[in-house]
Structure 1
Amino acid sequence: MAMVMEFGNEGQSIYFRYQGSYLRDSEGNLVHCAGSQKQWVHDNWSTLRSSHTKPDAKIYQRSGQPPDGHTTAIIIGNHGRIVNGDAFEKYFVDLLLTQADLTAHTLPVSGGDAEIDAVTEQLVDLFDSYLRYDGGKGDQWKVSGRKYFTQRARHFTSRRSKLEMCLPAFPCKSSNTDKVTGPDPDRGEELALERLHGFVSEIEKIYAPGAKLWVISDGHVFSDCIGVDDGEVDRYTAMLKDMNREVGSRFGDPDRVGFKSLVDLFQLASRNDDLSTLAARLNLPPIEHHLDTKLTEEAELCRRILVAGSGPRKEAIRAKIDSKDATITRLYRGFSKFMLEDLENHPLTKKMSRSKQKKLSAKVAFEMIVRNHAYSNLVEMLFPNYVRLSIHAHNNAGPKFGIQLVDPTKVRAVTSLSADGELMTSVDLLHVPTPWHNCVVELQGSEIMLMTKAKLARTALSKGSFTGSLTKTDSGRAYFELTKRPKRPIVVTMSEKIGPIFSKVSSPIRSSPQLIRRATLSMSEAMKTSSPRVPKSQGPQGPMTAAPRVGKRMFTFSEKTVAASNQQAQQPAAPNAAATPKAGGVKKRYTFFGPSSTTDKSNGSAIVTVVPVVNPPAPIKRVKTGLGKLWGSSSMNTAETGVRSPSQAQQAVA
């Protein structure tokens, strides 16, 4: 199982000089502090409250408006800078002071510790059972994560304040149309929002102050890396906010879940700055673009400010990759593989060779790692006390906790169009399966919805194995509604070996579903290894390029199961060796003798002849029959072996 691990995050941006933040009231009392130097702030508060200085750092402050008059302060160390001069530092710190939310505008309530502990434990239990993603073998929730989560939740419960959470997610739809229904939020996003609103509403039943879950949309952080225009991100986000209001209203409160983007966090347009000259005035380093996308001025400025203010040092990341550091190398390879898939339908990559596509994906993956850590660092500075949720497969040790964005009891993320299909693994778990990399499929007769790649649904419809279409819910959310086309029943004739030749073929029997699956698999495998020189033939599963080789692919079934299947289907079956249970249903091994091109028109069944395994198998020779083609032995004809033609088998079925 893939799992996102934290690695050494180092650099010279302001984040790496950030020593902490604190909040004091109008009377000079310390309300709260956070960051690496919080203990120093506590120990030296009597001096700090009057001097507002620290020997090795600068302290920036911003006073709030009445009635509380609280002052927020940020401590920035004096060591190395990534941007020359003080202009950027002052600008970036002012952004932090304006937007930072310490969520602690009151001191902890005195007394009632037992009650606080009890409700905190209930909240932690709810998260564990309702939303937490189980990281599997390497999961650290029970070891240390639960304790960390409890401490973070207690920050709010001890103050009787609303529990604040943040989730970087919902960037935009993937540019790979094989994955999604289109560029708009669809049924997948709706299901995810329903789950988030449902979680917050469950919190309200336990904890009266309730909670607020902020989606910190990272669309503009990565849009140029994934081949999506900035304008498309804005359109997706606007539609998502409308959807959130609709879903929230259905749950009784549209404000339980809120949205903030990189552009919202920096609010450049509202700061009365000339954006066209801001980058030059702040001496912002450029950022790399590996794909041709349409950039908006504000979004591009936000990306440059993000990387300059909180990004890691690229040379440090590259050195770790080159040194084969296990954690960063695993992340780098995972991102590279993921981006190779995500960009495979991009106009630029379609013109490239596979090797060039891999090189491009590696470059994009490196840039995404830089941006991902820059954004994570920014969130840490702006929301130091929030419970941090993630759609990545973290080990849940903290400070980030992976979540299941859709309800696993209602939706399964699978790699095939079956509720019993294989769960998404490997590269897909770089992200816990998300709506913006998949689509939703509803299968007729199944209570479980599927989250899977849209290409599977489109291919199934085009090949006719499913009927249905891309449709919409009453609220207008797109999803695939499919009905599996019923397969023709397979009628199997079997033979018992007597001496050097086969005995008379038994009466055809209608196989059980279990046998059909195994027979289909066996035939498929046999076809892969069959001789290419044999002419095409029409088998029960479609055109066959060649006949299966007798004895090469075998399957096993219980005679008892077959007999029971006949009785359930109320098919009159003549007593014979193959259809009569022996020794409590002894399993026997059979191999395909050949498919018939003929279909019994009376019951729409395809006929497949199988025989017991024999050593050595007789050579295969094509033998024509009256109503179809049957693969027979070159040394034996039908009369000698007793193997009946498809027409004879059909007569027996009738």
Structure 2
Amino acid sequence: MDVKHSLCEQHSNISPRAIAVKVLDELLPFRRRPDARDDSAIVVEHQLPRLQKAIECATPLTFVLPAFPAKSPNPRKVLGSLPDTAERIALTFLANLCERITRHYQPGARIILCADGHVFADTIRVPDTTVAEYQDELRKLVAAIAPLHIQIVNLHDLLPADHASVDFEGARTKLMDRHGTGADNIRAELMADEIGRAHYRAITRFMFEDGLTPGYEGSRTALQADSKQRAIEVVRRSRAWGNLLDEVFPGALRLSIHPQAPDSPKFGIHLSDCADSWLTPWHGVAVDVGGQLRLMKREEAERAGARVEHVDGRPSHFVIEQTQSQGVFP
């Protein structure tokens, strides 16, 4: 008997709900949590019906993940402006996740990676040209690692056809005119509960860290105030981007690189072995610690005595020998 036919026959005897349970079991170990509470039962209650509904369609599961904007502009956090081993690890993780889901659900799964650097470029103070270079290299990585499971799209790809020719600033204007919400409304929503306030504080921290570059000459107080303002704008852009994604991909399953409340329609997901629920490949570096890859900020790796490894002539990741890591990492 043909192996593929046999697998299809096996899956046809399993209920959509049972398959949804297995798919969710693959996701739950990698969930980004807003805190340490065990709220898995609430997550299951809200996510399981969404998965079951998608599985009942008997088509590939489509996950939409807004992520991979650009490398942090702060050299204390990253190795450079282009994707490196940190992104490679994350893309490999996502590809492997799709493969594991396919074992339970024969139509398989795909991830539409919505690279959103041009949505935020002016706010995070990364030039659009740098974002474009990052996305070009990211596409090459996807083509090499997971061409069957991951597709990359960006802001221009998703705007209506009559807006496709506008420049980056024009594209952001079109996005906010059509899908944006006022800053006061965003601020009030964030301050309404602890999860929202934690999100605001985390984004502010990113803005502050990214702005605290070696060349920064202003005061920390001024940078903190500026970071708070830009954090609101980042969330405002993110909401508009999410609204556009909902419009373009109705019915898709939403992933997020941010911690999410247990009853959220989005599922917050880690992209690598990282204890920090907010650290991402574009805000850190990959570190080989005695044969195990971890994600951390560049300055942390350097303080631990790490050395830089190059691949194809470019800085790729750090290495800390096992003897060095003793007493530094648990």
Band of TM-score, shorter chain: 0.7 to 0.9
Q: Check conservation: 1:140, 1:397, Cα contact below 8 A.
A: no
Match of 1:376 in 2: 242
Structure 1 residues 320, 122: closer, same or farther in 2, change over 3 A?
closer
For residues 123 and 475 of structure 1, do their structure 2 counterparts lie closer, same or farther at Cα, with a shift above 3 Å needed?
farther
Question: Are the structure 2 counterparts of residues 304 and 244 from structure 1 closer, same or farther at C-alpha, using a change threshold of 3 Å?
Answer: same
Show the counterpart of 1:480: 318
- Where in structure 1 are there 5+ consecutive unaligned residues? 1-111, 249-253, 276-296, 414-422, 461-465, 487-512, 518-654
Task: Pick the structure with more strand per residue.
Answer: 1
Q: Distance in 1 between matches of 2:206 and 2:131?
A: 20
Q: Secondary structure at the match of 1:389?
A: strand
Q: Output the CA distance in 2 between the equivalents of 1:436 and 1:451.
A: 10
Whether the aligned pair in 1 keeps the contact of 2:114 and 2:153 (CA below 8 Å) is: yes
SS of match in other structure, 1:168: strand
Deviations 1:624-644 (A, max 9, x none): xxxxxxxxxxxxxxxxxxxxx
- Deviation string 1:376-410 (CA, Å, 9 cap, x unpaired) is 2222222231110111011232300111111x3xx
SS in structure 2 at match of 1:223: helix
- Normalising by structure 1, we get a TM-score of 0.45
Structure 2 match to 1:125? 25
User: d(CA) in 2 for partners of 1:319 and 1:196?
Assistant: 34
Specify whether residues 353 and 116 from structure 1 end up closer, same or farther in structure 2 by C-alpha distance, changes over 3 A only.
closer
1:214 to 81, 106, 112: 112
More RCO (CA 8 Å, sep 6+)? 2
Alignment partner of 2:221: what SS? helix
Q: Is the 8 A contact 1:164 1:211 kept in 2?
A: yes
Distance change (3 Å), C-alpha of 1:140 and 1:274: same
Aligned residue in 1 for 2:301:
457
Instruction: State the SS of the aligned residue for 2:213.
Output: coil
> 1:117/1:330 Cα in 2 relative to 1: closer, same or farther (>3 Å)?
closer
Cα separation, 2, equivalents of 1:364 and 1:201: 38
What is the aligned counterpart of 1:257 among 142, 150, 157? 150
Q: What does residue 363 of structure 1 align with?
A: 229
- C-alpha displacement at 1:341, in angstroms? 1.2
CA contact (8 A) 1:141 1:397 kept: no
- Answer yes or no: is 1:333 the counterpart of 2:207: no
**Distance (whole Å) between structure 1 residues aligned to residue 282 and residue 253 of structure 2:** 23
Q: In the alignment, what sits opposite 1:314?
A: 183
Q: Which has the higher helix share?
A: 2
Compute the TM-score of the two structures, normalised by the length of structure 2.
0.85
Report SS of the residue matched to 1:441: strand
Alpha-carbon deviation of 1:210?
Answer: 0.7
Deviation of residue 330 (structure 1)? 4.1
Equivalent pairs counted in the alignment come to 315
CA distance 1:319–1:185, shift in 2 (3 Å): closer
Measure, in 1, the Cα distance between the counterparts of 2:54 and 2:189.
38
CA–CA distance in 1 between the matches of 2:108 and 2:129? 35
Query: Alignment partner of 1:376: what SS?
Result: helix
Matched with 2:3 is none
Q: How does 1:115-264 map to 2 (within 5 A)?
A: 115-129=15-29, 131-138=30-37, 140-143=39-42, 145-248=43-146, 254-264=147-157
Residue 369 of structure 1 deviates from its aligned partner by 1.8
Which is greater in Rg? 1
Please list, as runs of the form range in 1=range in 2, the aligned pairs for 1:12-27 lying within 5 A after superposition. none
Flag the 1:154–1:359 CA change in 2: closer, same or farther, 3 A. same
Give a deviation string over 1:254-277, Cα, whole Å, max 9, x none.
221111111111165xx48774xx
Please give the alpha-carbon distance, in whole angstroms, between the structure 2 residues aligned to 1:193 and 1:150.
25
**What do residues 572-591 of structure 1 show as CA deviations (whole Å, max 9, x unaligned)?**
xxxxxxxxxxxxxxxxxxxx
Which amino acid is 1:161 matched to? Answer: T
RMSD of aligned alpha carbons: 2.8
Cα deviation, 1:98-157, whole Å, max 9, x if unaligned, reads: xxxxxxxxxxxxxx796323222222222224x4334444454312x2133222222232
Over 3 Å counting, the alpha-carbon distance change for 1:484 and 1:126 in structure 2 is closer
